[in-house]
Structure 1
Amino acid sequence: MTDDVLLVHGGTPLEGEIRVRGAKNLVPKAMVAALLGHEPSRLRNVPDIRDVKVVRGLLQLHGVTVRPGEEHGELILDPSHVESANVADIDAHAGSSRIPILFCGPLLHRLGHAFIPGLGGCHIGDRPVDFHLDVLRQFGAVVDKNAEGLYLTAPQRLRGTKIRLPYPSVGATEQVLLTAVLAEGVTELTNAAIEPEIVDLICVLQKMGAIIAMGTDRTIVITGVDRLGGYNHRALPDRLESASWACAALATHGNIYVHGARQLEMMTFLNTFRKVGGAFEVDDEGIRFWHPGGELNAIALETDVHPGFQTDWQQPLVVALTQATGLSIVHETVYESRLGFTSALNQMGAHIQLYRECLGGTPCRFGRRNFQHSAVVSGPSKLHGGELIIPDLRGGFSYLIAALAAQGTSTVHGIDLINRGYENFMEKLRALGASVELPKAAASAV
């Protein structure tokens, strides 16, 4: 498909202004939360991305009315007539997103049963649904697996329980929250994820009538209630997209003002950005990121769960680190396959060596399991255009950054995957002065 391929003519600094809207890692989950209520919900600052479309389709299949609100980026979700959906219709969404697993708890509460199709998402490492299924079983759900997907039933009302996650998984924490709020009794979750998007989801649920207390040491206590209403909520901005554009500014010697970017959720990233040599300025409307000139600095970096350096920030920053002077060390501790994208950067002229050893002291889940999860980046490197096949969402945007920073033309395949998490990225690239075109346009221009 030629509309899934992009020609990128690199070597031009990105300069201008763009806007980020609601976080990809919050908005679809807030949409699922509306299924728990008995009154309409109003969600604002919604981005036009594929994950939102997938969840919208699944909600509508289950009888939820979803329509645009009065303001741009607003959705009204009415769950007054929730119903069972046809298995074949649900299965049509199989492989398109990992969000459907979060429908389990709400559907068990509303209907007493749920069907979840096969799950998609980015192939960046092992992300089993076992966490989710174990959690649901502890609430009293019965899970049956077959070739089509997962069938879940709740013979009785789900009951609160004590759950300790083996790892502070964002998805498993969301599963607990969406299930516990209507479960009978109290649920205590320890070793929970505490990302800003998790906190924002808690705010959504509290507006609906939930009772949720965040304690110290990653402990969340949820007291189940009998009924939830709707919510009126403006989603927090996407800190991961904001950081991606910041890295694009740094790698291309550019200057980008990101409307909607917020300092609070990005403090860890901003510290690292400054250490590398990037400059930024915060105001009430957003953050300006730019390359101030001179050499960039090599750094040692380890990813971690929040409040550490987010794994989704790592890939775009690695591209910028190819332009830093010296040896940078990157230890990826969250997803074991997230550094696989660097092989394409090496083909473009980067010098990145991967290692199986833990090159850092942050606790790592897979350091002894023979995964190449540490990298040494030697720079600065002169990048040149290449033939790139997008492997996953963040890696894909990182390829775009590399192509924009490189001399010459790159052909980037699979750009539709970027639509999962980056709203109108083509329009944003052009607004920043990027020289990009689809092959059809290139052919017609000859």
Structure 2
Amino acid sequence: MSNDVLVVHGNTPLRGEIRVRGAKNLVSKAMVAALLGQTPSRLFNVPRIRDVEVVRGLLEVHGVRVSEGAEPGELVFDPTNVEAATADEINVHAGSSRIPILFCGPLLHRLGHAFIPDLGGCHIGDRPIDFHIGALREFGAIVDKQPHGMTLTAPNGLRGTKFELPYPSVGATEQVLLTAVLAEGVTELRNAAVEPEIMDLICVLQKMGAIIKVHTDRVIEIEGVSRLDGYAHRPIPDRIEAASWASAALATGGDVLVRGARQADMMTFLNVFRSVGGKFEVTDPHGPDELGGIRFWHPGEELRATVLETDVHPGFGTDWQQPMVVALTQARGLSIVHETVYERRLGYTKALNQMGATIQVYRECLGGTPCRFGRRNFNHSAVIAGPSKLHATDLVIPDLRAGFSHLIAALAAEGTSHVYGVSLINRGYEDFEAKLAALGAHAERP
């Protein structure tokens, strides 16, 4: 689109204060969980992002009444009259999101059937829905594949099962949780994801009446119950957005206070941030009405190269990798990044090289973390030589996290860049243009 472009005048340090709200990767799942309740649910501190709009639309076409609450950022979900939706109604909302797959379990419980369209989302690698489908079949669902999606039914209801994920997939873990809580009997999930957003979803479900035990070694046990009620929940803050702004402060030589950022969810990121030479200061809230945060800044000294491997939590998150790599282009020496979560996540480095960075990508595993991609011909490791002086160019955003990384690079570069496809950033970053302005960035629509 001709108007989907941001003109960024770079080489200006970001300085100031912004706020992050509820985590994108929890809020959308908590919205789906409202389908399971017999009474209304209330979710607070909801960010104004595209993914929230998508899930709201999907809930509404399934008969859930969604309304604004009393305080800013509060949404109320009334699931009293859940109903089936047509494929056309679902497709109006579902094209830009992978969330619809998580509607399967709740809709099977409420209606006995569900339709899931072909899935969208960011094209950063294989996000196999066979994990999801395999889990749903274990619960007793029958899956009928059709040209434009899948119809699922559960003629004998859903029953608890024992299931082990081949990889601790966040989405598949969410699928099992949202399905198992009302399934008959006990479900044991092994090799589950344990990200902070997963733990927060478990908190939501427990508030609704679920019985969920989190054991050691990635084992989660869910005892099915016959009824769930609504919840009232304030989600954890968005640790990915917080880290993105932290990396922007580092790459531009700036100083940014991220209100709402929480240390406990970001410890692995904070260790890396400090190891490359960044400084941070944690401010804990001292009262119920006070919002804590983390201040991130570049100390003015040369940044240091590092070796980095992404991994599932509690490792270094894959969504932290791309913004941090932009900062690493400004570090002295050779930094090594081994991406072990998504096999195509390094495609954005081509644009950084066009801006003057020196990044080489490799098929080999440049690290010791177990990896699924080393012998499958994917460029999933990178060596970044720095420091590099970045210069402005025209950029086309390929996906959400790479998009924010391109934006950081444009802010750090000398000259004026045109960043195309910025609406993708709205999927996960609330009011990012207003936040840029608050931090003194020089960026505007043409």
TM-score of the superposed pair, with normalisation by structure 1? 0.98
Separation in structure 2 between the aligned mates of residue 51 and residue 94 of structure 1, nearest angstrom? 10
1:330 matches 2:350: no
Separation in structure 1 between the aligned mates of residue 354 and residue 87 of structure 2, nearest angstrom? 44
Aligned to 1:382: 389
| CA deviation map 1:188-233 (0-9, x unaligned) | 0000000000000000000000000000000000000000001010
TM-score of the superposed pair, with normalisation by structure 2? 0.98
Separation in structure 1 between the aligned mates of residue 190 and residue 242 of structure 2, nearest angstrom? 30
What pairs up with 1:10-159 in 2 under 5 angstroms? 10-159=10-159
Separation in structure 2 between the aligned mates of residue 316 and residue 131 of structure 1, nearest angstrom? 28
8 Å Cα contact 2:5-2:422 kept in structure 1 = yes
1:415 matches 2:410: no
Query: What amino acid is the match of 1:312?
Result: D
Separation in structure 1 between the aligned mates of residue 245 and residue 30 of structure 2, nearest angstrom? 25
Separation in structure 1 between the aligned mates of residue 397 and residue 144 of structure 2, nearest angstrom? 34
8 Å Cα contact 2:54-2:94 kept in structure 1 = no
1:2 Cα offset (Å): 3.0
8 Å Cα contact 2:211-2:225 kept in structure 1 = yes
8 Å Cα contact 1:2-1:438 kept in structure 2 = no
Aligned to 1:316: 323
Aligned to 1:394: 401
Secondary structure at 1:199 match in 2: helix
| CA deviation map 1:42-61 (0-9, x unaligned) | 10010000110000001011
Aligned to 2:313: 306
Residue range with higher mean Cα deviation, 77-86 or 25-34? 77-86
Secondary structure at 2:273 match in 1: helix
1:118 Cα offset (Å): 1.4
Moved over 3 A (4+): none
Aligned to 2:190: 190
Separation in structure 1 between the aligned mates of residue 102 and residue 26 of structure 2, nearest angstrom? 12
What pairs up with 1:178-217 in 2 under 5 angstroms? 178-217=178-217
Aligned to 1:228: 228
8 Å Cα contact 1:278-1:289 kept in structure 2 = yes
| CA deviation map 1:232-266 (0-9, x unaligned) | 10010000000000000000000000000000000
1:403 matches 2:406: no
Secondary structure at 1:257 match in 2: strand
Query: Aligned match of 2:437 in 410, 426, 430?
Result: 430
1:6 matches 2:12: no
8 Å Cα contact 2:58-2:94 kept in structure 1 = no
1:3 Cα offset (Å): 2.5
Secondary structure at 2:176 match in 1: helix
Separation in structure 2 between the aligned mates of residue 401 and residue 303 of structure 1, nearest angstrom? 20
1:96 Cα offset (Å): 1.0
1:94 Cα offset (Å): 3.5
Identity of aligned residues (%): 76
Number of aligned residues = 439
8 Å Cα contact 1:64-1:79 kept in structure 2 = yes
Secondary structure at 2:201 match in 1: helix
1:26 Cα offset (Å): 0.3
Query: What amino acid is the match of 2:80?
Result: S
Q: Output the aligned Cα RMSD.
A: 0.6
Query: What amino acid is the match of 2:329?
Result: T
Query: What amino acid is the match of 1:330?
Result: V
Q: Can you give the 5+ residue segments of structure 1 that lack an aligned partner in the other structure?
A: 440-446
